[in-house]
């Protein structure tokens, strides 16, 4: 974000491993629970050769038309009994949704990282095959040179005896 001169305030988080533990994930969900908008920047897997830096809005902030529709629904009076309290239910499902979205983001980042490693290993294997091919050619040339040298020595010895 610094390289892109991102003007909004943000905080970067670093975990102990590439995939955060369940405890770290729950702490992150608790941390972002009170924010109105949460943007996550990560490497998205497109193809095995293509991973793209992506910004994802975890809170999926409403557009103006969605907000108007929600306001119209809120104006109607509803009478119902719900146990437990609707606020607690919404809070629970909101934290669960954020947890799942964050987990999916981390898994997609891990997929992109693995794809990148696979491409690098394939390139290394190809380079190793080329190096082996060159070494085998040099070995064949050395064997031929040794055979030619022995043949010349044998002919020279035979000529000197004649």
SS3 137: helix
Q: How far is CA 60 from CA 7, 45, 73, 98, in A?
A: 20, 20, 19, 10
Sign of the torsion formed by the C-alpha atoms of 82, 87, 90 and 95: negative
CA 96, 102, 108, 113 torsion: positive or negative? negative
Instruction: Identify the pLDDT of residue 8.
Output: 76
Of 21-25, 72-76, 129-133, 144-148, the one with minimum mean pLDDT is 72-76
Q: Decide which of 49 and 63 is more confident.
A: 49
Do residues 38 and 59 make contact, with C-beta atoms less than 8 angstroms apart? yes
C-alpha 22/C-alpha 100 separation (Å) is 11
Distance CA 62, CA 83 (A): 27
Whether residue 36 has a cis bond before it, omega within 30° of 0: no
Residue 80 confidence (pLDDT): 59
Query: What is residue 63's predicted lDDT score, i.e. its pLDDT?
Result: 54
Q: What is the pTM for the complete model shown?
A: 0.50
């Amino acid at each position: 974000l610094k390289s892109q001169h991102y003007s909004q305030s943000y905080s970067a988080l670093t975990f102990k491993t590439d995939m955060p533990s369940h405890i770290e994930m729950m702490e992150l969900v608790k941390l972002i629970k009170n924010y109105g908008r949460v943007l996550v920047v990560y490497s998205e897997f497109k193809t095995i050769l293509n991973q793209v830096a992506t910004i994802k809005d975890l809170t999926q902030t409403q557009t103006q038309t969605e907000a108007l529709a929600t306001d119209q629904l809120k104006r109607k009076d509803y009478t119902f009994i719900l146990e437990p309290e609707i606020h607690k239910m919404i809070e629970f499902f909101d934290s669960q949704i954020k947890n799942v979205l964050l987990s999916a983001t981390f898994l997609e980042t891990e997929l992109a990282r693995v794809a990148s490693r696979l491409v690098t290993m394939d390139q290394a294997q190809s380079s190793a095959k080329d190096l082996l091919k060159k070494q085998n050619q040099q070995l064949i040339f050395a064997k031929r040179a040794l055979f030619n040298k022995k043949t010349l020595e044998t002919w020279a010895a035979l000529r000197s005896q004649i």
